C-alpha cells in the first residue's frame, strides 16, 4: 500500500494536495485496491460547489459503485477528463490520477497526515 508523505488524507480514502487557496483531490492507493478494477468514473461539472463530506463523484468497479466524498469544500475548477475514457489510470497510479481541482477552498473537514492515515488504514484492516 502506497501512502505519499506530502499529501493530506481523509477517512473516506481521498488524498488532498494543497496549493495556496486551491487543492487537488484523488483516491488513495488503498481505496483503488479495495475497490478493484475501476471501470467507470462519474465526475462533477466545472463550477459545481461542494461542501465538506459531500459526494462529488462516483466510481464504479467490477464489485460496486461507490460515492466519493470530499474532505474540503469549494468550487470545482477542473476535472480530470482523461479518466472518463481511461478509468484504469486510477488503478495504475492513484496519486497521479487526480479527480478534481478546487480553486477556492471555503472549508476543511477532518484531514489526516500521511502517518495518521497509515495508522487509520491499519486499524480498519485489523478490525476486519
- 31: its cell numbers: 481505496
Q: Are the C-beta atoms of 43 and 79 separated by less than 8 Å?
A: yes
Share of the chain residues as helix, strand and coil, in percent rounded to the nearest 5: 25, 40, 35
Q: SS3 of 123, please? A: helix
Three-state DSSP class for 22?
strand
Q: Say if CB 112 and CB 8 are below 8 A apart.
A: yes
CB of 108 to other proteins, least distance (A): 22
Q: How far is the CB of 123 from other proteins (least distance, A)?
A: 14
> What CA–CA distance (Å, rounded) separates 119 from 116?
5
Q: Which residue has the cell 485496491?
A: 33
Task: Tell which positions 58-117 bind other proteins, by CB under 8 A.
Answer: 60, 62-66, 87-88
Judged by beta carbon, residue 19 or residue 127, the one nearer other proteins is 127
Minimum CB distance to other proteins, residue 124 (Å) = 9
Of the pair 28, 66, the CB lying nearest other proteins is at 66
53 touching other proteins, by CB under 8 A? no
**Smallest distance from other proteins to CB 6, Å:** 29
Which residue in the set 1, 21, 37, 107 belongs to the binding site for other proteins (CB under 8 A)? Answer: 37
Diameter of the chain measured on Cα atoms: 40
Q: Tell me the window of 9-17, 31-39, 74-82, 111-119 that interacts with other proteins (CB under 8 A).
A: 31-39
Q: Which residues bind other proteins (CB under 8 A)?
A: 34, 37, 39-40, 60, 62-66, 87-88, 128
Amino acid at each position: 500500500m502506497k501512502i505519499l508523505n506530502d499529501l493530506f488524507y481523509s477517512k473516506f480514502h481521498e488524498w488532498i494536495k494543497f496549493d495556496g487557496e486551491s487543492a487537488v483531490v484523488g483516491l488513495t492507493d488503498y481505496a483503488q485496491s479495495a475497490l478493484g478494477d475501476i471501470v467507470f468514473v462519474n465526475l462533477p461539472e466545472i463550477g459545481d460547489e461542494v461542501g465538506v463530506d459531500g459526494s462529488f463523484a462516483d466510481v464504479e468497479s467490477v464489485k460496486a459503485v461507490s460515492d466519493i466524498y470530499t474532505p474540503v469544500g469549494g468550487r470545482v475548477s477542473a476535472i480530470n477528463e482523461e479518466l472518463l475514457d481511461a478509468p484504469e489510470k486510477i488503478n495504475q497510479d492513484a496519486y497521479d490520477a487526480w479527480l478534481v481541482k478546487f480553486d477556492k477552498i471555503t472549508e476543511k473537514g477532518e484531514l489526516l497526515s500521511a502517518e495518521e492515515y497509515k495508522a487509520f488504514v491499519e486499524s480498519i484492516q485489523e478490525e476486519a
